[in-house]
Amino acid sequence: MLALVAKLNADPAVHGILVQLPLPPQIREEAVVHAIGSLKDVDAFHPENVGLLTLGQPRYYPCTPHGCIELLRRNGHDPAGRHVVVVGRSNIVGKPLAVMLMQKATAANPAGGDATVTVAHTRTANLARVCRQADILIAAVGKAGFVTADMVRPGAAVLDVGTNLSGGKLVGDVDPAVAAVAGALSPVPGGVGPMTITMLLANTARAAELIGGPVSG
């Protein structure tokens, strides 16, 4: 697998490399992900790209967090100056999303949210009370129906990042009863998921610009 990554790193016709996770248990994910050349790392999982993001000098935005921010902005819920509560602290969603939301927006970092940000999780005391502060509540905890109506302030915007299989159906982290309380609620499927794919394509186009190399078509 490392040999394949090395071959793709060296191939000037390849601009982006994504490793579909999870890998089988006998392969160390970290070793494979870190082997991807940082310029071809369109998932933005490489430590160098995570570091540049955290420093407010992103090369690539991670796809799901970026999709969340675009989805909010394009639906009239700009996080600037608002209190955003992120439930979940994963490396793929919660943590990078919180970092992006707290940063100022700059020319080099246009997705910066300029929000007040709280990161909560399953071990948060008084979770419902913490969540009810949110102007924008983001559920990224990976448990079906985890966010219930009592955790949502009436009128708040709720973004559901969960993708859980429940009885053969894809369901989010947000209980359907939240729809009656929230001012807006992203659906699962069809909400954040397609945004993730869109941002991955945007990163791949950006990689082609950064790397150069042969262009066809």
- Contacts with its own copies, residue ranges (CB under 8 A): 30, 46-57, 81-83, 89, 91, 95-96, 98-99, 102-104, 114, 116-121, 123-125, 130
Q: How far is the CB of 102 from its own copies (least distance, A)?
A: 5
CB closer to its own copies, 17 vs 33? 33
Q: Kindly write down the DSSP assignment for every residue of 130-199, as one continuous string.
A: HHTT-SEEEE-S--TT-B-GGGS-TT-EEEE---EEETTEEE-SB-GGGGGT-SEE--TTTSHHHHHHHH
CB closer to its own copies, 16 vs 94? 94
Q: How far is the CB of 36 from its own copies (least distance, A)?
A: 13
Alpha carbon 35 to chain centroid, angstroms: 22
Q: Side chain identity at 27, as an amino acid letter?
A: I
First to last CA, the chain: 30
Backbone angles phi, psi at 120, to 5 degrees: -115, 170
Q: How far is the CB of 147 from its own copies (least distance, A)?
A: 16
Q: How far is the CB of 15 from its own copies (least distance, A)?
A: 21
CB closer to its own copies, 49 vs 186? 49
